[in-house]
């Protein structure tokens, strides 16, 4: 019995050590805004296509089951959306993911009014979650930046 117990304990210890070492192998995908395009301008809401560049720094492909995203402009909520598009993020590469986001008339008008009144750059912040089947709850992202306003878009 002792002869069987020692190798079993050693095997369990090796498996646990392997699992502990494995947790450091997964690197979170990075998300950047690569563009935004007007889809539809309605009276009460506006639809945009938000283009996100998702970078997979891992040496293996990562399946993506969907994502959600919110966009703020100059610190104010502007648009949000969901996508259930399933794609595979290839190893060590970038993929452009397009998501439809919606804003309402009030937030769009407030943002436009502030932009025209101020001679400041446009600050944006994109937040959201990438839903990966291997990570319960998904992987959150939060990316900020600014776009200079060229002479108030003359």
Specify the pLDDT at position 14: 46
How many helices (H) and strands (E) the chain has is answered by 2, 9
The residue with greater pLDDT, 114 or 154, is 114
User: Is residue 9 over pLDDT 50?
Assistant: yes
Q: Residue 79 is encoded by which pair of tokens?
A: 């648009």
Percent of the chain with pLDDT over 70: 75
pLDDT band for 52, please (50, 70, 90 cuts).
Answer: very high
* Overall CATH class of domain 29-153: mainly beta
Spell out the domain ranges in the chain. Answer: 29-153
Query: What would the two tokens of residue 55 be?
Result: 């970078």
In this predicted structure, what is the pLDDT of residue 3? 63
pLDDT of residue 32: 95
pLDDT at 124: 93
Give the CA distances from residue 108 to residues 24, 66, 77, 117, 151, in Å, rounded to whole numbers and listed in that order: 42, 26, 9, 14, 20
Average pLDDT in the chain: 83
Q: What does the pLDDT average to over 38-59?
A: 94
């Amino acid at each position: 019995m002792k002869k069987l117990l020692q190798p079993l304990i050693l095997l369990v210890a090796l498996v646990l050590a392997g699992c502990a070492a494995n947790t450091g192998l997964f690197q979170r995908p990075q998300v950047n805004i690569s563009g935004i395009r007007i889809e539809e301008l309605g009276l009460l809401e506006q639809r945009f296509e938000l283009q996100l560049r998702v970078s997979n720094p891992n040496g293996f492909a990562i399946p993506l089951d969907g994502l959600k995203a919110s966009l703020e402009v100059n610190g104010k909520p502007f648009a949000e959306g969901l996508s259930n598009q399933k794609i595979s993020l290839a190893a060590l590469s970038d993929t452009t993911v397009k998501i439809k986001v919606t804003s309402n008339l009030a937030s769009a008008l407030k943002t436009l009014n502030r932009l025209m009144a101020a001679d400041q750059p446009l600050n944006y912040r994109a937040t959201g979650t990438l839903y990966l089947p291997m990570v319960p709850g998904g992987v959150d992202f939060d990316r900020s930046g600014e776009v200079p306003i060229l002479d108030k878009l003359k």
